[in-house]
């Protein structure tokens, strides 16, 4: 079993490499102003909105300079970074809002063709998600941004779904366990039409509606009429929500007389997720499972290579015997395990998939990962937005811990051992990737 102190030391030294591919749907609690302390609104009130005004040109300059000083590659991945400033400066100067300016800045950042490199503003969901991950470990971040958050911490109201924009519209791509969306009967593959009769908006559709039922219209089948679902948004805490969802995902599936475990790690950005996984497998709800499926699809990365030590064949079984009771636990999980990944299993999750294949820990199932594997960190901007920037390249298995002859997953990704196609549009809640992973977990324990 992993030494927790050593693992935490690694976590602090490694940094969090965690860019997600899609945003978690909900309503963020936006900044009430730039640098002003605001009175926290009650969960049922609309969050105070940032005033609409001419965009601050200083933000463009600050982002460009931060990249110039801190981007991991001094050659900027082969582009002329000074020329990029000239290319986008005029368009940035014409932006009439923070959102318009952010769009221009992100176009400039995309020229670097590197993951973990994006500007997040208070008007989008990813801003609070990424703050929730970095928040507990970064006192400087708290000091600079806490006065700008109405409740003093990253919170938003929402229904707990991930979405993806496709040519046909916006579709639900994943649903958090124990979420309002799950309770209401929404399904992966539903096309979002409107909320309370108004066009769907990722941020504003649930503003000020915590605890108040809303009507969500979705199209479940192609060329069909919409269906109405009543959903009651809840207040999500960005620092705890993914651990809560992980705990709620744990289940034991009985098939052909065998017990198969399952757990979904929506985020791996923090030692608490690995600790919870160890608890579930070694002494908790999955202890009696004969094999299990580790679902790393969607959400955030952040996992460390040392987490692979959990799946060690060098296991010690400890048994305690008392007068009226007996208990036992293992030092590692040495039973079959199947890993489940997809195109949104990023960063540290991809490193674990690479390790699963290299060390033959278990089959990797699903779809190819995106190849988003560099080290990123947050830089708060003066206007309250945050720049997520790649500050370190990542190589695996290089000579003596160097890049020499190492494996670089950025831009490459990991191809599963067993690829399972998945069409999102109008999927009606079907999950062929999970079904295949469970079938392999079953096959591993059958005679």
Residues of the domain holding 367: 241-373+392-443
**What is the spatial distance between Cα 42 and Cα 155, in angstroms, rounded to a whole number?**
12
Mean pLDDT of 143-149: 89
**What is the spatial distance between Cα 385 and Cα 133, in angstroms, rounded to a whole number?**
15
Q: Please check whether residues 251 and 352 belong to one and the same domain.
A: yes
Model confidence at 4: pLDDT above 80: no
pLDDT per position as a tens digit, 260-280: 999 999 999 999 999 999 999
Q: How many domains does the chain have?
A: 3
Q: Please check whether residues 412 and 301 belong to one and the same domain.
A: yes
Mean pLDDT of 290-302: 96
In a domain, 15, yes or no: no
Q: What is the CATH number of the domain that holds 203?
A: 2.30.42.10
State the pLDDT confidence band at 55, using cuts at 50, 70 and 90.
low
Buried residues in 358-385 as b, exposed as e (16+ CB within 10 A): eeebbbbbbbbbbbbbbbbbbbbbebbb
Q: What is the pLDDT of residue 314?
A: 77
Hey, how many other C-beta atoms are within 10 angstroms of the C-beta on 222? 9
Mean pLDDT of 80-95: 96
Structural tokens at position 229: 């679902």
Q: What is the CATH number of the domain that holds 358?
A: 3.90.226.10
In a domain, 367, yes or no: yes
In a domain, 211, yes or no: yes
The last residue of one of the domains, among 237, 252, 275, is 237
Q: What is the pLDDT of residue 304?
A: 93
Q: Please check whether residues 194 and 336 belong to one and the same domain.
A: no
Q: What is the pLDDT of residue 258?
A: 97
State the pLDDT confidence band at 312, using cuts at 50, 70 and 90.
confident
The separation between CA 18 and the C-alpha centre of its own chain, rounded to angstroms, equals 7
Mean pLDDT, the chain, rounded, equals: 86
**Sheet of strand 337-341: strand arrangement:** 251-255, 258-264, 291-295, 337-341, 364-366, 418-419
The last residue of one of the domains, among 192, 209, 237, is 237
Hey, how many other C-beta atoms are within 10 angstroms of the C-beta on 237? 15
**DSSP-derived 3-state class of residue 171:** strand
The upper half-sphere exposure of residue 194, i.e. CA atoms within 13 Å in the direction of its Cβ, equals 6
In a domain, 387, yes or no: no
pLDDT per position as a tens digit, 101-136: 999 999 999 999 999 999 998 878 888 889 999 999
Q: Please check whether residues 283 and 432 belong to one and the same domain.
A: yes
Structural tokens at position 328: 């036992």
pTM of the full structure = 0.87
Q: Please check whether residues 36 and 166 belong to one and the same domain.
A: no
CA distances from 413 to 318, 345, 409 (A): 39, 10, 5
pLDDT per position as a tens digit, 153-211: 999 899 999 999 999 999 999 999 999 999 999 999 999 999 999 999 887 899 889 99
In a domain, 5, yes or no: no
Q: What share of the chain is helix, strand, coil (3-state, %, to 5)?
A: 30, 25, 45
Q: Please check whether residues 56 and 199 belong to one and the same domain.
A: no
Q: Please check whether residues 219 and 327 belong to one and the same domain.
A: no
Which residues, at least 6 apart from 223, have a Cβ–Cβ distance to it below 8 Å? none
Q: Please check whether residues 246 and 212 belong to one and the same domain.
A: no
């Amino acid at each position: 079993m992993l030494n927790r102190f050593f693992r935490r030391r690694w976590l602090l030294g490694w940094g969090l490499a965690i860019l997600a591919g899609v945003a978690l749907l909900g309503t963020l609690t936006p900044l009430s102003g730039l640098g002003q302390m605001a009175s926290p609104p009650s969960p049922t009130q609309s969050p105070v909105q940032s005033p609409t005004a001419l965009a601050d040109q200083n933000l463009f300059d600050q982002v460009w300079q931060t990249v110039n000083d801190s981007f991991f590659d001094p050659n900027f991945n082969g582009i002329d970074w000074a020329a990029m400033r000239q290319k986008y400066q005029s368009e940035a100067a014409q932006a009439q809002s923070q959102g318009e300016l952010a769009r221009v800045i992100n176009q400039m950042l995309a020229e670097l063709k590197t993951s973990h490199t994006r500007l997040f503003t208070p008007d989008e969901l990813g801003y609070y998600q990424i703050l929730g991950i970095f928040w507990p470990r970064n006192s400087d971040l708290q000091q600079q941004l806490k006065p700008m958050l109405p409740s003093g911490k990253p919170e938003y109201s929402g229904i707990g779904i991930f979405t993806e924009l496709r040519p046909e519209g916006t579709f639900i791509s994943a649903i958090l366990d124990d979420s309002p969306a799950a309770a209401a009967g929404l399904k992966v593959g539903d096309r979002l039409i409107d909320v309370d009769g108004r066009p769907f908006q990722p941020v504003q559709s649930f503003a000020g509606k915590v605890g108040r039922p809303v009507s969500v219209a979705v199209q479940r089948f192609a060329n069909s009429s919409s269906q109405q679902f009543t959903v009651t948004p809840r207040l999500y805490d960005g620092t705890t929500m993914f651990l809560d969802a992980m705990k709620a995902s744990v289940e034991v599936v009985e098939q052909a007389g065998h017990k198969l475990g399952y757990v979904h790690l929506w985020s791996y950005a923090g030692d608490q997720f690995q600790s919870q996984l160890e608890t579930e497998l070694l002494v908790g709800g999955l202890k009696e499972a004969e094999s299990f499926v580790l679902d790393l699809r969607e959400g955030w990365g952040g996992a460390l290579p040392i987490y692979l030590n959990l799946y060690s064949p060098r296991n010690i079984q400890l048994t305690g015997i008392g007068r009226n009771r007996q208990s036992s636990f293992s030092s590692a999980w040495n039973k079959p395990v199947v890993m489940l990944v997809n195109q949104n299993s990023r960063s540290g999750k991809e490193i674990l998939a690479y390790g699963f294949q290299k060390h033959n820990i278990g089959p990797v199932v699903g779809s190819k990962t995106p190849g988003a594997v560099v080290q990123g960190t947050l830089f708060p901007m003066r206007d309250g937005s945050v720049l997520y920037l790649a500050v370190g390249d990542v190589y695996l298995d290089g000579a003596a811990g160097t890049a020499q002859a190492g494996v670089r997953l950025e831009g490459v990704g990991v191809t599963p051992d067993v690829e399972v196609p998945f069409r999102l549009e109008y999927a009606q809640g079907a999950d062929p990737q999970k079904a295949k992973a469970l079938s392999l977990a079953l096959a591993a324990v059958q005679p």
